[in-house]
Amino acid sequence: MDTSKLKKFAQFARRTLREQISAKLALVRASGSAARREHPESVNRLEEAIKQTGEEQVIERVAYTWFNRFCALRFMDVNRYTRIGVVSPAEGQFQPEILAEAKMGHIDEDMVPPKTRQQIADLLAGKSPSHDPQGEAYRLLVVAACNAWHQSMPFLFERIDDYTELLMPDDLLSGSAILAYTREAMTPDACADVEVIGWLYQFYISEKKDTVFEGLKKNQKITPENIPAATQLFTPHWIVRYLVDNALGRLWLLNRPQSRLADQMEYYIPPEQAETDFLRIKGPEDIKVCDPACGSGHMLTYAFDLLYAMYEEEGYDPAEIPEKILTHNLYGIELDERAGELAAFALTMKARARQRRFFNKRVKPNICVLEKVSFSREELGEYMSAVGRDLFTHGLRETLQQFSEADNFGSLIVPKVVNVADVLATLEAKDMAGNLFLADTHQRVLRVLRMADYLGPRYAVVVANPPYMGGKGMNGRLSAWAKENFPRSKSDLFAMFIERGFDLTPKYGYSAMVTMQSWMFLSSYEALRERILSETSIECMAHMANMVMGIAFGTAATVLKKGGSPESRGAYCYVEYEDIGEENKPVEFPPRNERNLKAAQRRAAA
């Protein structure tokens, strides 16, 4: 995939959308504006949002919302997942297919409500005064399409009935409109794989990321709202495959020695000796895979492919497999709401590619976006009295307070309560709707417990490219919290995630991550190395030189087995920049050099 064109488009789109929405915002807020007359409630919500977060944040959020939707609609158009092209023209035409059909009197009754259909018909027939009837009619069609997709994908297509619609860009049909550039960048070749969405997101936020790092040079710490932009890094596909093949794939082959799965795992390295100590599974539905920093879902989408092959080997009905994978197997945790939406979208697209009627199932992928939720002491006291104090153990009370800075600590939070699922089920069964004072508290308690449930040690495989952030970039609260909760790995977020990874798994589970290489050498990580060597076995590692991942420092893709034997011989290799070919992957794997070897962990620790 040629990402240079995508990068240029995404950066241009962000600047353009921000400019257009900023101009539209000024018009909407002007005294006596048409929006104030015709949509007073939406304008009031807009003013309230500006008061809470500031004008800049509102512009940023709305700009990204439309970028997200335009890209998603284009991807679905190209792959013919939409019944009619929403942002794409039919072959030989210039205007979006949905508008061309409307001009001929064909408007989808299932998608467009009666009142909106009449508005569109009047605009196109010249019965409704407008300086741009086609543009206005098309805007109504796009909004109707987004609202229709809300039923299948509410995580991405929230209903547009507020200021988001008011701030929608005006020019969508001209040759210089944002949609024209979207179609030019998102070619059929680019849309052949849903990973294009992840690339677009990384490039969209790249300029903001540069701004954050410029601030670091001036000793400006990274605040919670800037952590996502500062730490997003898209993982090259071959590294994703290496990690997933040697964790998820390895687990399956240990349980199913006769499986043919290895035939499709290009980067799988079989163990040197037969293993007897491994996590036993009855079938594919037992395997839970988690990415605790999932970004736009790149690790999970490849895991989907391997899991699909496992279900096929077990003889499952192909029509049932996509739903089973999204329901039972794949879990993502993310700090950035926008990245979490894209991860859910990517998994939904993977499922739709395998099952034509998947949208009708309305399955929501298991993607948890962590958010800060706080309670006052008095509020919790009243709530405990209402639901029963016997439920409120010390661990539960602590857990409810742990998420007051979830936007800062993310997946590194280790819930204090040990039986989250049981407590959650008990509280979900309680009807608090009639208690006006505690109904909101109840919903926030449930929200915390649902997040805590994702953060428990229940995954057979954890796989991630965790965020990188050294102590110099951490804000004061994050730095102090890291020292208190992760004393062995406090020097960088990636090292803390290494520890968190194998805490999320049971005995013999796998944690596979690509991280900076420094944990292997620096004295500040000595205690972390001791824990890794005493509690896990290194099953395999690909040590990578500067620029192999497109970044100016060395990295390591490592697969750890919790409770593995230090006598086991792990497979190690070294990948240099010169080993990477034109397709951004090694020409040969493992590369042939003096550092391609197998060694026992105990010897390495001596």
Residues 6+ positions from 141 with CB-CB distance below 8 Å: 86, 96, 98, 99, 102, 107, 112, 120
Kindly list the distances between the CA atom of residue 373 and the CA atoms of 231, 335, 376, 442, in Å, as whole numbers in the listed order.
Answer: 22, 13, 11, 12
Kindly list the distances between the CA atom of residue 187 and the CA atoms of 37, 203, 302, 354, in Å, as whole numbers in the listed order.
Answer: 41, 17, 22, 21
Per-residue exposure over 81-98, b if at least 16 CB sit within 10 Å of its own CB, e if not: bbebbbbbbeeeeebbbb
User: Rounded to an integer, what distance in angstroms lies between the CA atom of residue 119 and that of residue 225?
Assistant: 40
pLDDT of 149 reads 92
Q: What is the mean pLDDT of residues 307-319?
A: 97
Q: Is residue 276 part of a domain?
A: yes
- Of 192, 217, 244, which residue constitutes the final position of a domain? 192
Angle between helices 178-185 and 3-29 (to 10 degrees): 160
Kindly list the distances between the CA atom of residue 451 and the CA atoms of 294, 372, 389, in Å, as whole numbers in the listed order.
Answer: 15, 10, 22
- Name the token pair of 468: 């990188």
What DSSP string runs through 550-583? SSSS-EEEEEEEET--TTSEEEEEEE-GGGB-TT
Neighbouring C-alpha atoms within 13 Å toward the C-beta of 468: 18
Same domain, 289 and 237: yes
| pLDDT higher than threshold 90 for residue 329 | yes
Same domain, 162 and 307: no
| pLDDT higher than threshold 90 for residue 209 | no
Same domain, 257 and 389: no
Beta strands in 211-299 (DSSP E): 289-291
> For 130-149, how does the pLDDT look when each residue is reduced to its tens digit (9 = 90+)?
899 999 999 999 999 999 99
Q: Is residue 551 part of a domain?
A: yes
Same domain, 531 and 427: no
Cα torsion through 271, 276, 278, 279, rounded to 10: 140
Same domain, 184 and 172: yes
- Report residue 198's pLDDT band, with 50, 70 and 90 as the boundaries: confident
> Minimal CA–CA distance to 98: which of 145, 52, 51, 133?
145
Q: What is the mean pLDDT of residues 355-371?
A: 94
Q: Measure CA 296 to chain center.
A: 4
Neighbouring C-alpha atoms within 13 Å toward the C-beta of 559: 32
Q: Which helix (H) or strand (E) holds 515?
A: strand 510-516
Q: Is residue 213 part of a domain?
A: no
- Of 454, 473, 508, which residue constitutes the final position of a domain? 454
Q: Is 256 exposed, middle or buried (0-12, 13-18, 19+ CB in 10 A)?
A: middle
Question: What residue type is assigned to position 340 of the chain?
Answer: G
pLDDT of 322 reads 97
Q: Are 442 and 434 in contact (CB under 8 A)?
A: no
Q: What is the mean pLDDT of residues 81-107?
A: 93
User: Rounded to an integer, what distance in angstroms lies between the CA atom of residue 528 and that of residue 506?
Assistant: 19
| pLDDT higher than threshold 70 for residue 126 | yes
Q: Taking the model in full, what pTM does it have? A: 0.91
> For 554-574, how does the pLDDT look when each residue is reduced to its tens digit (9 = 90+)?
899 999 999 998 888 899 999
- Report residue 218's pLDDT band, with 50, 70 and 90 as the boundaries: low
| pLDDT higher than threshold 90 for residue 213 | no
pLDDT of 370 reads 95
**By three-state DSSP, how is residue 540 classified?**
strand
Q: Is residue 212 part of a domain?
A: no
Rg of the Cα atoms in the chain? 25
- Report residue 219's pLDDT band, with 50, 70 and 90 as the boundaries: low
Q: Is residue 136 part of a domain?
A: yes
**Least-confidence region, from 35-39, 284-288, 511-515, 526-530:** 35-39
> Minimal CA–CA distance to 287: which of 266, 308, 261, 272?
308
Looking at per-residue pLDDT, the higher value among 351 and 129 belongs to 351
- Name the token pair of 209: 């990321």
- Percent of the chain at pLDDT > 70 equals 94
pLDDT of 606 reads 41
User: Rounded to an integer, what distance in angstroms lies between the CA atom of residue 511 and that of residue 499?
Assistant: 9
> For 450-471, how does the pLDDT look when each residue is reduced to its tens digit (9 = 90+)?
999 999 888 999 999 998 888 8
| pLDDT higher than threshold 90 for residue 595 | no
> Minimal CA–CA distance to 440: which of 390, 373, 391, 393?
373
pLDDT of 604 reads 46
- Report residue 575's pLDDT band, with 50, 70 and 90 as the boundaries: very high
Q: Are 408 and 416 in contact (CB under 8 A)?
A: no
Q: Are 295 and 198 in contact (CB under 8 A)?
A: yes
pLDDT of 605 reads 44
H/E/C letters for each residue in 134-147? HHHHHHHHHHHHHH
User: Rounded to an integer, what distance in angstroms lies between the CA atom of residue 33 and that of residue 26?
Assistant: 10
**Least-confidence region, from 46-50, 82-86, 410-414, 436-440:** 436-440
Same domain, 330 and 428: no
Q: Indicate which CATH number applies to the domain containing 509.
A: 3.40.50.150
Q: Is residue 206 part of a domain?
A: no
Q: Is residue 141 part of a domain?
A: yes
User: Rounded to an integer, what distance in angstroms lies between the CA atom of residue 470 and that of residue 246?
Assistant: 28
| pLDDT higher than threshold 60 for residue 423 | yes
Q: What angle do CA 575, 263, 547 make, to 5 degrees?
A: 20
Q: Is residue 43 part of a domain?
A: yes
Same domain, 334 and 470: yes
pLDDT of 303 reads 97
Q: Which residue carries 């008011």 as its tokens?
A: 166
Determine phi and psi for 431, rounding to 5 degrees: -95, 110
pLDDT of 158 reads 79
- Name the token pair of 96: 């979006």
Same domain, 98 and 110: yes
Same domain, 448 and 462: no
Same domain, 338 and 477: yes
Q: Quick one: CA dihedral 481, 61, 346, 544, positive or negative?
A: negative
Kindly list the distances between the CA atom of residue 16 and the CA atoms of 66, 88, 181, 188, 350, in Å, as whole numbers in the listed order.
Answer: 12, 20, 11, 24, 30
Same domain, 565 and 433: no
pLDDT, averaged across the chain? 90
- Of 454, 477, 505, which residue constitutes the final position of a domain? 454
| pLDDT higher than threshold 80 for residue 224 | no
Same domain, 41 and 149: yes
**By three-state DSSP, how is residue 96 classified?**
coil
Question: What residue type is assigned to position 371 of the chain?
Answer: E
User: Rounded to an integer, what distance in angstroms lies between the CA atom of residue 139 and that of residue 372?
Assistant: 35
User: How many folded domains does the chain comprise?
Assistant: 3
pLDDT of 551 reads 77
Q: Which residue range(s) make up the domain with 132?
A: 3-192
- Name the token pair of 325: 């994978």
**By three-state DSSP, how is residue 591 classified?**
coil
Q: What is the mean pLDDT of residues 27-36?
A: 91
